[in-house]
Amino acid sequence: MDMNRDKIERPYVPYEPLATVLPVVKPATSRSRKVKILLVLLTAAATFGLNHCWRGLDTDLPSSTPSTRADPPEFDWNALEPAKTIRWTSCYSGQKCARLLLPLDYGTPDGPTTAIALRMLPATDKVNYKGPMLINPGGPGGSGTDLVARAGKNISAIVGPSFDILGFDPRGIGASTPSASCFESDSQRQLWELQEDHRLLNASDGSVDIARARQTLLGQRCEQKIGGEWGIARFMSTPDVARDMLEISQQLGHEKLQYWGFSYGSILGQYFSAIYPDKVGRVIIDGVYDGHNYRGALWNSNLADTDAVIDSFFTFCHQAGPEKCALYDSTPAKIRARFFAVLHAVEAQPVSIPNAEPPVLVTRKVLQSQLFRATYKPLAQFVVVADTVYALESGNQTALAALAPKIVPPTECKCADLEPWLASNEAFSPIACGDGDEIVYDREAYAKYYENLVASSQLAGPLWANSYLKCAEWRVRPKWRWTGPLGAKNTSHPLLLVSPRYDPVCPLSDAQAVQDRYAGSGLLIQESVGHCTLAAPSLCTAKHIRAYMENGTLPKAGTVCGVDELPFVGAVQDVRALSVEDTELLEAMKGLSAAVPTFGFGGL
Q: What is the mean pLDDT of residues 422-435?
A: 95
Closest CA to 531 of 368, 372, 314: 372
Give the number of other CB atoms < 10 A from CB of residue 195. 9
pLDDT value of residue 575 = 76
d(CA 529, CA 327): 19
pLDDT value of residue 542 = 97
pLDDT value of residue 38 = 53
Residue 194 has pLDDT above 80, yes or no: yes
pLDDT tens-place string over residues 133-168 = 999 999 999 999 999 999 999 999 999 999 999 999
Q: Which amino acid is at 165?
A: I
Residue 593: band (very low, low, confident or very high) from pLDDT cuts 50, 70, 90: confident
pLDDT value of residue 604 = 81
Q: What is the mean pLDDT of residues 408-427?
A: 78
pLDDT value of residue 577 = 83
pLDDT value of residue 74 = 81
In the chain, % helix, strand, coil (3-state, to 5) comes to 45, 15, 45
d(CA 241, CA 431): 10
Residue 190: band (very low, low, confident or very high) from pLDDT cuts 50, 70, 90: confident
Percent pLDDT > 70 in the chain is 85
pLDDT tens-place string over residues 455-475 = 999 999 999 999 999 999 999
Q: Rounded to 5 degrees, what are φ and ψ at 95? A: -100, 175
Which DSSP string corresponds to 273-326?
A: HHH-GGGEEEEEEES---HHHHHTT---SGGGGHHHHHHHHHHHHHHH-TTT-T
> pTM for the complete prediction?
0.90
Residue 34: band (very low, low, confident or very high) from pLDDT cuts 50, 70, 90: low
pLDDT value of residue 31 = 52
Q: Are 257 and 284 in contact (CB under 8 A)?
A: no
Closest CA to 329 of 19, 25, 108, 83: 25
CA 475 to chain centre: 26
- The torsion of the CA quartet 14, 18, 20, 26, rounded to 10 degrees, works out to 10
Percent pLDDT > 90 in the chain is 79
The helix (H) or strand (E) run that includes residue 99 is strand 95-103
The helix (H) or strand (E) run that includes residue 353 is strand 351-353
Lowest mean pLDDT among 20-24, 238-242, 585-589: 20-24
Q: 522-529 and 496-502: which strand pairing?
A: parallel
Which DSSP string corresponds to 418-460?
A: PPGGGS----HIIIIIHHSPP----HHHHHHHHHHHHHH-TTT
Domains of the chain: 51-78+119-179+231-301+481-598 (3.40.50.1820)
d(CA 429, CA 558): 37
pLDDT tens-place string over residues 357-372 = 889 999 999 999 999 9
Residue 394 has pLDDT above 60, yes or no: yes
pLDDT tens-place string over residues 169-188 = 999 999 999 999 999 988 89
Q: What is the mean pLDDT of residues 504-521?
A: 98
Residue 602: band (very low, low, confident or very high) from pLDDT cuts 50, 70, 90: low
pLDDT tens-place string over residues 221-272 = 999 999 999 999 999 999 999 999 999 999 999 999 999 999 999 999 999 9
Q: Are 588 and 158 in contact (CB under 8 A)?
A: yes
Q: What is the mean pLDDT of residues 588-594?
A: 88
